[in-house]
Structure 1
């Protein structure tokens, strides 16, 4: 099956509903027979998505920079934990090791990862499917702003259409799987 990379928040101060969403994503990835690729952290949504995948019997691959290992936030329970020199190396390795990308709610780091994978797709550096889960309208303001970029010719409509937006985990996995076959 596929290696599905999940980008999401690693904050320790999130509402339980976001942790539950991440755990649901990990479990659904595992139930469908896929491997979870994550940022290799054990905290916040990142920890919850990996725990969800493992609880449902799925394999996990974490990719984490040494600086975060030093802060003792590495997912040491990961089936495979790859340690990189820095954040840029981490993103490159996550992209290389993944067949598809699923973005959950998150902050700057999550947006950085999403935009990296999306930008490289618009440059035809890869053709891997990308899905954004807009749970409870979390990303609506960003999506509205991105639409104005396209309206003003700063973003080609074809580039905008490379990212599929859904509102649930099952819809996200259905979409990714439809593009992987």
Structure 2
């Protein structure tokens, strides 16, 4: 399937000069949504996965589906102040500013094998922060997977040494 045909560019969002990759157009198309989920699941073929961590907010579209199919738990990585229990936090830089992610401190157990999922790999700051959080909590990142990789922003270099898969590359 040509996934790029189902992803819309939105110029100057969320800030001037950014071309946002809108995946809601893919999600609205049942066949594309199903095919993307199946392809992302195939990336994990043969992996032992205890937990799938999805990054707020667009990582939440596929990560729970992957967790369900892999027989793993789903863990949401949220912006600060959104989780109700004790959290662990990691700050990071975006291509257009700074932010932070939090996980429930007890959501990852020592030795857990973790699949990290997000919609887009851009500069790699968000995914790197999450991988650092998983490691700090005692987990092992077994793979990072993404719907989209923006290769021109070099995010793959921030995740060097980690298995990484992306369905679509720009």
TM-score tier after normalising by the smaller chain length: 0.3 to 0.5
Q: Which has the higher helix share?
A: 1
TM, length-normalised to structure 2: 0.42
TM, length-normalised to structure 1: 0.40
Q: Which has the higher strand share?
A: 2
Higher relative contact order, chain-length normalized (CA < 8 Å, sep 6+): 1
